[in-house]
Amino acid sequence: MQEAGKIIKIDRVIHEPVRLAIMSCLYEKKYVDFVFILEKLDLTRGNLASHIKRLEYAGYVDVIKTFKERIPHTTYALTTKGKKAYEKYWCFFDEIRQDIDLEG
Amino acid sequence: MQEAGKIIKIDRVIHEPVRLAIMSCLYEKKYVDFVFILEKLDLTRGNLASHIKRLEYAGYVDVIKTFKERIPHTTYALTTKGKKAYEKYWCFFDEIRQDIDLEG
DNA sequence: AAGAAATAGTTTGTAAAGCAAACTGGGTAT
DNA sequence: ATACCCAGTTTGCTTTACAAACTATTTCTT
């Protein structure tokens, strides 16, 4: 079974469902824009922006501002740190479950 | 990739790390007592009690009060509902990750 | 040049939740 | 009677998510 520390130290930045979804999108697609996530997750713009800001502060995502047909277009991508953190997050869950499976 | 609804509808009662740890203990060991969890997770008594109360209200755990050598001894166990909810919780995570793995 | 429209935010206010520490109750030992 | 456990409730603090309102920046229209 999991030790105390293992499960308690889960990365809270990623653990929040909305941010986990964002990280999943980015991990899969590499580059994802604001509106895509907005519609995919059905959030308000403000809510999405603040979650992304949090991921930015954690150093997990880069913001790429471009113009698409002369309209502002913001795109996001995982940093190396973000990629590692995301993979580590899943490792925790694997460990927890494996530990459970070991016994009856 | 996950749809909007899939990840957002994660069971918040279980999703909280401390409660996930408690549920894991119970799923593995069937019967676990208060002090065991307390030491395992290094929580305050009040904190543990309130998390367990929340699991109780959700119908996920049963409370079994006994006396052990004439000293009160509280033990917990998953209900059928709790067992199902716990299994369903992991299913969400499997689905999310499988969806990611499908693409490069 | 002025005003409308769109993107991508920031700010504000509210409600919920986690946590530690203090306090409580019910039973036991001295 | 008093002191002592176990388990749980209450209180107060802090953080957070979220929606709604507001803002800044650039483009389009007239």
Q: Is the CB of A65 under 7 A from strand D?
A: no
Interface residues from chain A to B (CB-CB < 8 Å) = 1-4, 7-8, 10, 15, 17-18, 20-21, 24-25, 27-29, 40-42, 90, 93, 96-97, 99-100, 103
* A14-28 mean pLDDT: 95
What lies within 8 Å, CB to CB, of B1 at 6+ separation is A24, A25, A28, A29, A40, B99, B100, B103
State whether CATH 3.40.50.80 applies to domain B4-102.
Answer: no
Task: Give the chain A residue whose CA is nearest to the CA of B103.
Answer: A28
Task: Give the chain B residue whose CA is nearest to the CA of A87.
Answer: B97
Nearest CA to B85 out of B62, B55, B53 is that of B55
What pLDDT is stored for residue B104 in this prediction? 41
Who wins on pLDDT, B94 or B7? Answer: B94
Domain ranges for chain A, please list them.
Answer: 4-102
- Shortest Cα–Cα distance, A52 to chain B (Å): 16
Residue A8, pLDDT above cutoff 80: no
pLDDT digits over A29-66, tens only?
999 999 999 999 999 999 999 999 999 999 999 999 88
What lies within 8 Å, CB to CB, of A29 at 6+ separation is B1, B103
Measured between CB atoms, which of A7, A24, A103 is closest to B1?
A24
What pLDDT is stored for residue A27 in this prediction? 94
Q: Is the CB of B53 under 7 A from strand D?
A: yes
What pLDDT is stored for residue A2 in this prediction? 63
pLDDT-derived band at B24, boundaries 50, 70, 90: very high
What pLDDT is stored for residue B47 in this prediction? 97
Measured between CB atoms, which of B2, B42, B97 is closest to A90?
B97
Dump the DSSP string for B34-100. Answer: HHHHHHHHT--HHHHHHHHHHHHHTT-EEEEEEEETTEEEEEEEE-HHHHHHHHHHHHHHHHHHHHH
Return the structure tokens found at A43: 């959030």
